[in-house]
Amino acid sequence: MKPFPLKPGASPLDMFLQACLPRRDAVPATLTEHAVIPGIANARFRLDHDVTPFIEDAVQANKRESEMLARAGMPNDVLPLGNMLAVSGGGDAGAFAAGLIAGWTTQGTRPMFKVVTGISAGALVAPFAYLGPEYDGVIRHVSNGIGPKDIFHSRNVLTRLASDGMADSKPLSRLLAKYVTAQVLAAIAGEYAKGRILLIGTTDLDSGRPVTWNMGAIAASQAPGALDLFRNILLASMSIPGAVSPVMIDVEVDGKQYQEMHVDGGVITQVFLYPPTTVMALSKASGVPMRLERRFYVIRNGTLEPQWSGTKRRTLSIGGRAISALIQTQGISDLERIYRMAQQDSADFNLAYIGADFQCPHNRKFDGEYMKRLFDYAFEQSAKGYPWHKSPPSEITANKWATLFRGTE
């Protein structure tokens, strides 16, 4: 590895920082599209540029599913109902998705999902939701059985100056190593072979672009570094830039090695499913069985309404509060986008979010008591049958106004 060259006249502090934080060369802008993970085909997609590789992978997934049905002696000319689950970011509010999924199992109507996606906090839940109810114990523990010390380790002031984040995520890395094992990787590979899809989102900070990781393909690759890569992608998706260190991922372009810097996927989007042209493209693909119905389940680890918070007149407080407001607005826009896609693709839209009735002090990040109470709140609602919302915030607001207007007539 080698550091970036120092500018002429660099200060001693610049040289100190440079010495502490070496990295391989970043992928040049002109080569971004050509960077690959060595030894793992279709490991990821850059859906903001070219959806063709993703469509091709989806075609192959449908073919694997059709072949599995044929081996089981079931009709395979039309595929079964496609249930798709998207789990959003939200930090420690990810306990909401965990409780909802575990309660869903208890209620008895939780389906098997054709597609599961996760980003940021949702990345920790998604692989185990993908694998099914037998992993609910893991979901429960990683969402309400941990505290701040299990997620990050704060650095002292001097170390922060010489590092790439205010805290390091080694505790979270150890947590992932404990639960994302070789056996889990093999189980995900087995589900991928049946045509099921698991996607995790990160942000490539060098290019400033989203990356969608094909976790099933990584698990099924049997590449020597597949397990470490799988864990690193989950870690990267949850690594808030500036707050914790980014994750460096080795890539190649024409045999030359580079390194990409990956951080929280929530930098660009809070929740996602698939590109809006996917269903249309699949319908045009000859010889590919189609499914007649699709059902979207979107779990927002947050509220729909902005949460009031007194802001101190300090730089970090002001900046942090502004970012929080931006993330809130972005998350609502993502829900609107998925709803429009559901309408376009004739899919049944289902939305879950933290209701205004949940009240609990939240004094620090990854507060164990807050996460436990949020998990229990979601579990109780889901165990008795969660009332999935059939429209996004704009539609809910419009309906409220329509009701009020009718009341004045």
DSSP annotation string for 253-274: ETTEEEEEEEEEGGGT-S----
Q: For residues 83 and 349, what is the distance between their CA atoms, to the nearest angstrom? A: 10
Pair 392, 336: CB distance under 8 Å? yes
Q: For residues 163 and 154, what is the distance between their CA atoms, to the nearest angstrom? A: 11
Q: For residues 41 and 253, what is the distance between their CA atoms, to the nearest angstrom? A: 14
> Can you say how many angstroms the Cα of residue 94 is from the centroid of all Cα atoms in its chain?
11
Q: For residues 107 and 140, what is the distance between their CA atoms, to the nearest angstrom? A: 16
Q: For residues 324 and 147, what is the distance between their CA atoms, to the nearest angstrom? A: 21
Using alpha carbons, select from 275, 273, 295, 297 the residue that is nearest to residue 347. Answer: 295
pLDDT tens by residue, the chain, 409 residues: 444 455 555 555 554 555 456 788 999 999 999 999 999 989 999 999 889 999 999 999 999 998 998 898 888 777 888 999 999 998 889 999 999 999 999 999 999 999 999 999 999 999 999 999 999 999 998 887 676 677 766 665 656 555 665 667 788 889 999 999 999 999 999 999 999 999 999 999 999 999 999 999 999 999 999 999 999 999 999 988 767 888 999 999 999 999 999 999 888 999 999 998 888 888 887 677 777 789 999 999 998 876 666 777 776 567 666 666 766 777 788 999 999 999 999 999 999 999 999 988 887 777 888 999 999 999 999 999 999 999 987 665 545 544 544 455 5
- Sign of the four-CA dihedral 70, 73, 77, 81: negative
Q: Look up residue 11 and give its two tokens.
A: 């200060």
DSSP string, 295-310: EEEEE-SS-SSPPP--
Pair 130, 192: CB distance under 8 Å? no
Q: What is the pTM of this model?
A: 0.88
